[in-house]
Amino acid sequence: MTGAASLSGGPLPDRGTIEIPAAATRFGAPLPGGGTVGVPAPASGYFNRSEVLRGVEWWESRGYRVKLGEHVFERDAYVAGAAESRAADVTAMFLDPEVDVVQSYQGGYGSMQTIPHLDFEAIAEHPKPFVGYSDITALHVALRQRAGLATFYGYGLAGMGDKDSTDFSRTRLLEVLGGGGAGEVPRDPDDPYVRAIVGGRVTAPLVGGCLWLLLQTMGTPWEVDLDGCIFFFEDVDAPAWYVDGMLTQLHQAGKLDRVVGVVVGDMHQCDWSERRPEWPRTRSIEDVLELHLEPLGVPVLYKLPLGHGKHLAALPLGVTATLDADARTLTIEQSGLVEKGHTEEGTA
């Protein structure tokens, strides 16, 4: 690979000396039948109270209990109350012995604000499955890098009750929370086509999330670490030139130099449309992905149902996965869950 052209015109880095990063070392236990789902709201809050109630009733109709965070019904403009209160609810759910799974209420905006107020030591001592997506990406990054926790990219409580959520997405999340997510990540049941942008096969830790939120970590003490990892990203309502800019920043910051594979999920509503007429139809989202990812010389897979589209295949993060772009598959090799009280090193 030495001598291959990069986007900046210079040689690509030698990937032969990559050290495997600190992947997840702490794991929650599987969600038991009739277990309790604890719900903090670390980002945006509810708009109509029924949005909360629908999610609660969905879990309860299947025999589970829901325990809402103390501050879930607080609102401060576009976030669910003060950052300190939102963070306190997250930490409290990990410490609460009644709670089996911590499921964010929803994404939206505001997760980054909570990170300085989280008690990572307490969370590391009480590992549990943590679920959320979109804006919750910032917490996935911080919890893996500061607490060593394997987390799950999937619906929040609002998604469980949303009338537009699919049975595929809900069933997948239940399966992952009960079994850890090992095995091949399923394709979109409505559109099973998956594209290999670059062929090849690699096994490494899987990390990432929503592209815009990953950029928000840059320059912070919890800046995302992609070295030696399979880099997963997705986004929504980001036209091709936005994505071009975000990938340009990651490239120029050196964040793409040492990734060993890339999984691009659902780039929902990211191509040109009449809704976003401010830019001409000169480059498609696939053009942008090719421009930035082909020169990396690593396997690249595009269009699994991972993101903001109709279907979301819940995904464990921080665990070992195999990206086989030739077979067009992503297989989770390592469960994101263990029996209660265990870490990678042994009994906690």
**Active site (annotated) includes residue 308:** yes
Among residues 162, 176, 67, which one has the least CA distance to residue 131? 176
Annotated catalytic residue within 104, 308, 311, 335: 308
Among residues 312, 344, 11, 325, which one has the least CA distance to residue 149? 344
Alpha carbons 151 and 139: distance in angstroms, whole number = 9
Instruction: Specify whether the CB–CB gap between 328 and 195 falls below 8 A.
Output: yes
Instruction: Specify whether the CB–CB gap between 149 and 103 falls below 8 A.
Output: no
- DSSP SS3 for 247: helix
**Active site (annotated) includes residue 19:** no
Among residues 169, 244, 172, which one has the least CA distance to residue 211? 244
**Parallel, antiparallel, or unpaired for β 300-307 and 195-198?**
antiparallel
Q: Which residue has the tokens 């469980």?
A: 160
Instruction: Specify whether the CB–CB gap between 236 and 180 falls below 8 A.
Output: no
Alpha-helix runs per DSSP H in 7-136: 49-61, 83-95, 111-114, 120-125
Q: Which residue has the tokens 């053009």?
A: 287
Q: Is 63 exposed, middle or buried (0-12, 13-18, 19+ CB in 10 A)?
A: exposed
Among residues 122, 111, 128, 298, which one has the least CA distance to residue 209? 111
Instruction: Specify whether the CB–CB gap between 44 and 80 falls below 8 A.
Output: yes
Annotated catalytic residue within 104, 134, 169, 335: 134
**Active site (annotated) includes residue 61:** no
Q: What is the CA radius of gyration of the chain?
A: 19
Q: What are 331's two structure tokens? A: 């297989």
Residues β-bridged to residue 184: 331
Annotated catalytic residue within 71, 104, 111, 234: 234
Q: Which residue has the tokens 């870490």?
A: 343
Residue 225 neighbours by CB under 8 Å, 6+ apart: 21, 145, 207
User: What amino acid positions are annotated as catalytic residues?
Assistant: 134, 234, 308
